[in-house]
Structure 1
Amino acid sequence: MAKLTFLIYHVGKHPPLNEIDIEQQESHPVIEHTVTFRLTHPHGSAAETTFLAAAAALAEIQDVKDFVIRRQTSPKNQHTFGISMRFDTQEQYDFYSNHPAHRAFIQEHWLSSVSDFQEADFEPLESA
């Protein structure tokens, strides 16, 4: 929790007339879950569109933040797409990983549509 103190001034008068303390929970996500992948489906195909729509629905799972699907454009990487999302806690990430909608997506779309992938999860480095 961070504590913010606001000093309220009336124009032209010092010291402050009122002081308000507000406790605020820090809300920056601490786990970024990422995956890059290559689909078995041709670019622009109906199957590719179906897969990406099913993947986009994962954003609706509770506590998923900053969900993004991107097309990978570097010639240095054979993967064609990337997905990233953020979670505030390990518990939220675990909830997502075990959620029935996520498990169904893996079984119904991922296993039959993805030819190669790389998953990485990141946490911020602690300040020195």
Structure 2
Amino acid sequence: MLHHSVFLKFKSETSHEEQAYFIAESRKLAQIPGVMNLQVLEEFNATNPYTHGLGMDFEDQAAYDVYSNHPIHNRFVQEVWLPRVEKWQEIDYRELRVKS
């Protein structure tokens, strides 16, 4: 199991309406085959510079690769993400299986 997460801060000129649009559009990422457990997140502890986040799971690397190259994802990045996001931190984890 792979977990993909990205935390972001909107550009200062991004209005509340544009942020709502971003959030609505980000939910469409769940339509991509292989995306599981999509979460759209809002920060509630102001100790870090990121205000929002996205998280999702994938069964394996192949499913993650489908997501990364899918037209819905590519359109989201180019038309929704880049015009509105100032900075971000992407974090990807693979489930650690400990042998007993």
Q: Same fold (TM over 0.5)?
A: yes
Q: Which letter does structure 2 place at the counterpart of 1:90?
A: Q
Match of 2:17 in 1: 46
Match of 2:33 in 1: 62
Identity of aligned residues (%): 33
Match of 1:77 in 2: 48
2:4 corresponds to 1:33: yes
Task: Give the counterpart of 1:96 among 55, 63, 67.
Answer: 67
Task: Please give the per-residue CA displacement for 1:42-89, whole angstroms capped at 9, x wherever unaligned.
Answer: 4xx111111111111111111110000010122221110011000001
Q: Which one has a larger percent helix, Structure 1 or Structure 2?
A: 2
In the alignment, structure 1 segments of 5+ residues that lack a partner are 1-29
Q: Which runs of 4+ in 1 moved over 6 A?
A: none
Q: Which letter does structure 1 place at the counterpart of 2:67?
A: Y
TM-superposed CA distance for 1:104, in Å, is: 0.6
Q: What is the CA–CA distance in structure 1 between the aligned matches of 2:46 and 2:22, rounded to whole Å?
A: 23
Q: TM-score, normalised by structure 1?
A: 0.73
In the alignment, structure 2 segments of 5+ residues that lack a partner are none
TM-superposed CA distance for 1:126, in Å, is: 2.3
TM-superposed CA distance for 1:119, in Å, is: 0.2
Task: Please give the per-residue CA displacement for 1:75-112, whole angstroms capped at 9, x wherever unaligned.
Answer: 22111001100000100000000001100111101111
Q: What is the CA–CA distance in structure 2 between the aligned matches of 1:52 and 1:110, rounded to whole Å?
A: 10
Larger radius of gyration: 1
Pairwise CA RMSD of aligned residues? Answer: 0.9
Match of 1:7 in 2: none
Q: TM-score, normalised by structure 2?
A: 0.92
TM-superposed CA distance for 1:120, in Å, is: 0.5
